[in-house]
Amino acid sequence: MKLNALFISATLAAASMLTANAHADNSTRVALTSALGSVAGTAVGKQMGGNTGAMIGSAVGGAGGAAVSSNRRDRTGAAIGGGLGGVGGYTVGKNMGGSNGGYIGSALGAAGGAVLGKKVSQDRHADQRKYRKHRRR
């Protein structure tokens, strides 16, 4: 019960940071929401299906959080990165630090993966714009 209260208070604190810090960089918002989604998905998945459910929940939560907070052009890249990062982070964290390590790893992996996926998507769009620019001449 104490762990659930800790997660709820952390979620409320992070949500208040999102509303109070309206001038945060878009990457910060993507990382935060992906991390929160991944932790929530991990907790729900673990209750429903054990470790396998936690892995699936961390992927769905991380992808959903990243997709909600990123713009339309970079949504798919951020969602893929958040999902893969959440699963990888949960697996590594669980092996290193048990159940709590799984939650922490899930959050960190989803945040890093979502930001990386967003950045890759932005770079791909920039490269396509350069190619189209030279092609018109």
In a domain, 86, yes or no: yes
Count up the domains in the chain and report the number: 1
Q: Could you tell me which of 90, 99, 35 has the C-alpha nearest to residue 63? A: 35
Statement: residue 12 has pLDDT above 60: no
Give yes or no for a contact between 70 and 118, defined as CB atoms under 8 angstroms apart: yes
In a domain, 13, yes or no: no
In a domain, 132, yes or no: yes
Q: Which domain holds residue 85?
A: 31-136
In a domain, 121, yes or no: yes
Average pLDDT, the chain: 83
Statement: residue 21 has pLDDT above 60: no
In a domain, 79, yes or no: yes
Statement: residue 1 has pLDDT above 80: no
Average pLDDT over residues 7-30: 62
Q: How confident is the model over 69-112, as pLDDT tens digits?
A: 888 888 999 999 999 999 999 999 999 988 889 999 999 999 99
Helical H segments across 21-74, by residue range: 26-69
In a domain, 46, yes or no: yes
Q: Could you tell me which of 52, 51, 119, 47 has the C-alpha nearest to residue 82? A: 119
pLDDT of residue 11: 64
16 contacts: CB under 8 Å, gap ≥ 6: none
Helix axes 26-69, 75-136, angle to 10 degrees: 110
pLDDT of residue 83: 95
In a domain, 26, yes or no: no
pLDDT of residue 125: 82
Q: Is 1 helix (H, G, I), strand (E, B) or coil?
A: coil
In a domain, 3, yes or no: no
15 contacts: CB under 8 Å, gap ≥ 6: 36
